[in-house]
Amino acid sequence: MKKPCSSLPLAMLLVSTLVASLSAQEDPTQEQTEAAAPAEIGPSGQPIAFPHDVHAGEYEIDCQYCHFSVERSMRAGIPPVATCIGCHAFVAGSQNPEEITRLREYADRQEAIPWNRIYKVADHVQFPHMRHIAAGVECSNCHGNVQEIEVIQQVNQPLSMGWCLGCHIESGASRDCTVCHY
């Protein structure tokens, strides 16, 4: 995979896509992930084979550029198609151009990509991302080294009460039943 000859083209893309995505991200609570239509699944298990290693690893795009609400809300947030198109209106894709074609088709139809959830706690459990980020817990503690993962899979299975409590005991965080169940 080729790198750009300097970081300037990517920096310009970042600016243009930021403008495009700001308007699309006004409502971070909007359920971008849970579209009504059943997902059309490729071999990656996702409607589009989105490579984290290329974006977060090779091109060093910050996690929060896409997972925009992780610092301030319960949910990390999944980027809207407009965030992708900010770059992929120009970046065609040299390895899997058909994936970019499908991405552009979602954008043309103004349709949210029906991503399948990978990490999900039971309905009776509350997981606040913002409290963990504020306490300095790294994404990698719970999601593994995403910069090197091509297709996201759960690395800490299952998301059991024992797993949560193990770290809470170690780090002196609350063990009160009602902080996680209410």
Which is closer to ligand HEC, CB of 36 or CB of 71?
A: 71
Q: Which of 20, 25, 48, 114 binds ligand HEC (CB under 6 A)?
A: 48
91 binds ligand HEC (CB under 6 A): yes
Which of 22-30, 35-43, 70-78 is the region at the interface with ligand HEC (rule: CB under 6 A)?
70-78
The distance of Cα 165 from the centroid of its chain, to the nearest Å, equals 25
22 binds ligand HEC (CB under 6 A): no
CB of 179 to ligand HEC, least distance (A): 4
What distance in Å separates the CA atoms of residue 8 and residue 20, rounded to the nearest whole number?
A: 19
Q: Which of 25, 68, 103, 114 binds ligand HEC (CB under 6 A)?
A: 103
CA angle 84, 71, 156 (to 5 degrees): 85
112 binds ligand HEC (CB under 6 A): no
168 binds ligand HEC (CB under 6 A): yes
Q: Which of 52, 68, 112, 114 binds ligand HEC (CB under 6 A)?
A: 52
* Residue listed under structure tokens 């990656």: 44
C-alpha radius of gyration, the chain, whole number: 18
Instruction: Determine if the peptide bond prior to 158 is cis (ω within 30°).
Output: yes
**Within 10 Å of residue 102's Cβ, how many Cβ atoms?**
17
What distance in Å separates the CA atoms of residue 75 and residue 68, rounded to the nearest whole number?
A: 9
Q: Which of 20, 25, 68, 99 binds ligand HEC (CB under 6 A)?
A: 99
Q: Which of 25, 68, 76, 114 binds ligand HEC (CB under 6 A)?
A: 76
Which of 23-31, 35-43, 173-181 is the region at the interface with ligand HEC (rule: CB under 6 A)?
173-181
In contact, 80 and 112? CB cutoff 8 Å: yes
